[in-house]
Amino acid sequence: MTKVWKAAPLPPYVMTYHKFWEERISNEDLKLADRVWAVAMARSKPNLHTPLGDDELAELVGKKMPNGETKPAARKSVWEAINKLIDSGLLDKNSTRKCLILPAEGFGNRRRGWKADCKNCTGKLSEENKDLIRPGMSGGSLI
């Protein structure tokens, strides 16, 4: 008799598309915190980290000038936006302007690299977060 392996049932979830969020990053009609959130959603890696260069986030959410150049958002404003997202639970408490981290409590995936350490921040995923990213999903594939 052949043994059949079955993955644990998935909890209810919603799929999002990175392109959708990428388009919101430069939308100046949105509040700064919403645009920072869009960066995290559009560019997060499977380990839920969004590694960024030194002033990359400020450039991404900066203001487009009439001459076509971008004026970076003020560092203080970027920090305030990140802290607002942390306080509301939309970003992990270890997020910085160099690495936005989605909270493991709200995200799960089976993409290769989900348990990889972040090379951009001090943030190795804690064992606690590794368990949260894939609750009941220890093996198999959705595909």
Place of tokens 């894939």: 134
The per-residue pLDDT for 23 is 93
Higher pLDDT pick, 130 / 98? 98
Per-range mean pLDDT, top range of 7-16, 30-39, 101-110? 30-39
Residue 13 has pLDDT above 70, yes or no: no
- Please report whether residue 140 resides in a domain: no
pLDDT in tens, 57-111: 999 999 999 998 999 999 999 999 999 999 999 999 889 999 999 887 777 666 7
At residue 16 the predicted structure's pLDDT band, cuts being 50, 70 and 90, is confident
The per-residue pLDDT for 81 is 97
- Please report whether residue 55 resides in a domain: yes
- Please report whether residue 139 resides in a domain: no
The pLDDT > 70 percentage for the chain reads 69
Q: Please state the domain count of the chain.
A: 1
Higher pLDDT pick, 119 / 86? 86
Instruction: Give the 3-state DSSP-derived string for the chain, with helices as H, strands as E and coil as C.
Output: CCCCCCCCCCCCCCCCCHHHHHHHHCCCCCCHHHHHHHHHHHHCCCCCEEECCCCHHHHHCCEECCCCCEECCCHHHHHHHHHHHHHCCCCCCCCECCEEECCHHHCCCCCCCCCCCCCCCCCCCCHHHHHHHCCCCCCCCCC
- Please report whether residue 105 resides in a domain: yes
- Please report whether residue 138 resides in a domain: no
Q: 54 lies in which domain range?
A: 18-133
- Please report whether residue 96 resides in a domain: yes
Question: Backbone phi, then psi, for 106, in 5-degree steps?
Answer: -110, 0
Q: Could you tell me the pTM of the whole model?
A: 0.75
- Please report whether residue 10 resides in a domain: no
Angle subtended by helix axes 32-43 and 75-87, to nearest 10: 70
At residue 11 the predicted structure's pLDDT band, cuts being 50, 70 and 90, is low
- Please report whether residue 49 resides in a domain: yes
Place of tokens 């959130």: 37
